[in-house]
Amino acid sequence: MANIAVIGAGFVGLSSAYWLMRDGHEVTLYDPAGAAGGASFGNAGTFANYACIPVNNPTVFRDLPHYLWSGSSPLRLRWGYLPQLTPWLLGFLRHSTAARYTESATALATLLGRAQEGYTDMIAQAGLDGFIRPRECLYLYSTQKAFDASKPTLELRHSLGVKSRILDKAEIKALEPRLQPMFERGALFEGSWHLSDPSAFLHALQSWLMGQGLQVCAVAVQSLHPQAKRVMLATSEGSAMHDFVALCAGAHSKALAAQCGDAVPLEAERGYHLMYPGTSHLISRPVGWAERGFYMTPMAQGIRVAGTVELAGLGLAKHQGLMDLLHFSSQKALPELGAPEAPWLGFRPTLPDGLPVLGRSSNSARVVYAFGHQHIGLTLGGLSGMVVADQVAGRPSVIDLKPFAATRFG
């Protein structure tokens, strides 16, 4: 069996550690922030098996001015970051044609259709069942016009195997009576679920894996050096040699992938959340407001309101306007929320075509990629871990990896 390094302790990294250890490998996990120290800490907590619609689609050419200039838009761009962002934006627009949009949606649906396979055994063996809340996600539209505009995406989801039930105003009220009666239509997605505490889930998984022999190094990997039979890591505390490396560092993966021969156009989507303590009883499931681009999820500590997109790189300064929008919009939908606490900013990895990078690096079969999952790293974490383990073992992958290759960007 091999000695393997996993870089990144989020859902993808820890799932990779699980599947590699299941094959009998010795695994060392590298992450300076520890389990759930990045985007995996602050997400909406949803297993979104329905999320096969990439952000880039043909309507972006029509709607981009609204997204960039409207005060209610969940998308913001920091203009000072535009020079660095321009190559990514041009790639995003190139992948927003009808044909490429459909290709990306089809590829995502292939992953999402098997996403549960990556978690079933892991959750059972690690004793994580107590974190699972089997309530289906409710996606809401505040106007008939907004719902009508969404019909093409709902139809595309359906054609790709996503099962949903469309609700009218009365059915929404019956399902979630504390919501304001302002939503005209809703979609309830079959098979979706959520976590009561994403961070606690990952810490529990890491603790269980450590009991099985996982080694944890709370240091940053600064460089990768693939060799003929091993890979050398340079860290902030020295160097180490491993037989294989799994790169699962999310938005921080770009430089390390470049050292392995792959110029991946990875950017960071800055996402936000607010917590409303003691409010979990107000809703029974994740509730998303489509036009405002956020979720309200009942968790152990209260309702977490998570969402929005800011394109501004890895800077730490928070955008007060986006946090205000989250608070205003969530209180409009659920007036009993009260005052928020613990505003959080995280960095989602995003690629121009909306797909993750999965598979071996160009320069070495000993470096395996699993990063770039955008908004669905939680959902695809388990399956991505299966892919990593299959690549290390030389087994045929459970999915066709061609659409997700690092080399697809030329």
Cα angle 31-33-38, degrees, rounded to a multiple of 5: 95
Per-residue pLDDT of 54-78, as tens digits, reads: 988 887 766 666 666 566 667 777 8
Q: Would you say residue 316 has pLDDT above 90? A: no
- Residues 231 and 384: their CA atoms lie apart, in Å, by 21
Q: Would you say residue 317 has pLDDT above 90? A: no
- In the chain, the number of structural domains is 1
* pLDDT confidence of residue 57: 80
- Residues 148 and 166: their CA atoms lie apart, in Å, by 12
Arithmetic mean of pLDDT over the chain: 94
**Residue 269 structural domain:** 3-409
Per-residue pLDDT of 339-388, as tens digits, reads: 999 899 999 999 999 999 999 999 999 999 999 999 999 999 999 999 99
CA distances from 225 to 166, 238, 273, 389 (A): 52, 13, 37, 21
Per-residue pLDDT of 136-161, as tens digits, reads: 999 999 999 999 999 999 999 999 99
* pLDDT confidence of residue 70: 60
Per-residue pLDDT of 105-137, as tens digits, reads: 999 999 999 999 999 999 999 999 999 999 999
- Residues 275 and 74: their CA atoms lie apart, in Å, by 18
Q: What is the pTM of this model?
A: 0.96
The residues, ordered by sequence, that sit 6+ positions from 185 with a Cβ below 8 Å of its Cβ are 140, 141, 144, 147, 166, 167, 168, 169, 172
Q: What is the CATH number of the domain that holds 219?
A: 3.50.50.60
- In the chain, DSSP finds a helix count (H) and a strand count (E) of 12, 21
> In percent, how much of the chain has pLDDT > 90?
86
The residues, ordered by sequence, that sit 6+ positions from 205 with a Cβ below 8 Å of its Cβ are 14, 18, 35, 122, 126, 128
Q: In the predicted model, what is the mean pLDDT of residues 17-23?
A: 98
Residues in the chain: 410
Query: Which pLDDT band holds residue 240 (cuts at 50, 70, 90)?
Result: very high
The residues, ordered by sequence, that sit 6+ positions from 250 with a Cβ below 8 Å of its Cβ are 8, 10, 12, 38, 39, 40, 347, 348, 349, 371, 372, 373, 377
